[in-house]
Amino acid sequence: MSIYRYATIIGNHHVLNITIMKSVIAAMLLWIGANTNYNVDLQHPEIIFLPQDHLEKAYSREKVPQDTDLHAFYDLKNNTIYLSENFNLYSAWDKGVLLHELIHYVQDQNKAKFECLAKMEGEVWPLQKQYLLEMHGVEWVYDPLWFKMISSCHVGL
């Protein structure tokens, strides 16, 4: 069963048509299936929208980081995608962020094996870039050095 929560316990009155969100996720899963070898015949993940400070705290699991650029994350432990309450379903970039986290969900549900968690990003970023260009005409240019750093295992750090 798909669950979409809007973090009402912390005062968020996020309005989003659940039917549209389900359709977007279904379309994204089909896109992922067409562009990877993963099984995408999956239940939809739980999606929770949070205010930025709560999003950062949930991600860090410790003290709240200051001034981060965190838009979303996928929690491997509870199969949940956390999105900023500022998520805009009609923004190409925000859809790219959702796709990014949805790919992590698909990787997890398919029990994909990676040398380390960072290697998951090595697969996701190019797919997100491809999706943004193909589906929204947005060319996402990211720093190749940064990409190498965030998608490489760092032994001993």
- 131 token code pair: 């999706």
Distance CA 135, CA 84 (A): 22
* Residue 12 DSSP SS3: coil
Distance CA 130, CA 16 (A): 26
- 122 token code pair: 């090595």
**pLDDT tens, residue by residue, 51-82:** 888 888 888 876 655 667 889 999 999 999 99
pLDDT value of position 87 = 92
Whether the CB-CB separation of 118 and 152 falls below 8 Å is answered with yes
pLDDT value of position 156 = 58
Domains and CATH numbers, the chain: 4-150 (3.40.30)
Distance CA 97, CA 102 (A): 9
pLDDT value of position 133 = 98
Instruction: Classify residue 113 by its DSSP letter.
Output: -
Distance CA 151, CA 132 (A): 19
Distance CA 10, CA 54 (A): 9
Break the chain down into helix, strand, coil percent, rounded to 5. 45, 10, 45
Q: Which residues of the chain carry a pLDDT beneath 50?
A: 1-15
- 89 token code pair: 């379903």
- Global pTM reads 0.86
* Residue 48 DSSP SS3: strand
